[in-house]
Amino acid sequence: MKITVDGDVKEVKDGITISELIEQENVETPEYVSVSVNEEFEQRANFDTRKLKDGDVVEFLYFMGGGQ
């Protein structure tokens, strides 16, 4: 199936979970990433069980603390 991750369309296995996607995408600091699916935040507690569907739009939002 195809989903959009951070703006790019990607082919992923059917029913991939958020946790699996995080691993597959090599997300940095996975313990602290915020994830939105179709413009709604998903709770961290559901990352292991939330299965993504064809056409879902997933965004990873990262803490970025620099500025000085």
Partner 1 sequence: MPFTNEQLERYSRHIILKEIGVKGQKKLMNGSVLIIGAGGLGAPAALYLAAAGVGKIGIVDADVVDLSNLQRQVIHTTADVGRPKVESAAETMRAINPDVEVVTYHEFISSANIMDIIKDYDFVLDGTDNFPAKFLINDACVMADKPFSHAGILRFKGQLMTVIPHQSPCYRCVFKTMPPKDAIPTCKQAGVIGAMAGVIGSLQALEAVKFLTGAGELLTGKLLTFDALTMKFHTVKLPPRGDGCAVCSDHPEITELIDYEQPVCEFKPGKD
Residues that bind partner 1 (CB under 8 A): 6-7, 28-29, 31-32, 34, 36, 39-41, 59, 61-68
Choice between 34 and 46, CB closer to partner 1: 34
Residue 38 CB: number of other CB atoms within 10 A? 13
Helix, coil or strand: residue 9: strand
Choice between 49 and 68, CB closer to partner 1: 68
* In the complex, least distance from residue 8 CB atom to partner 1, rounded to whole angstroms: 9
Mention every residue, 6+ apart, whose C-beta is less than 8 A from residue 59: 5, 6, 35, 36
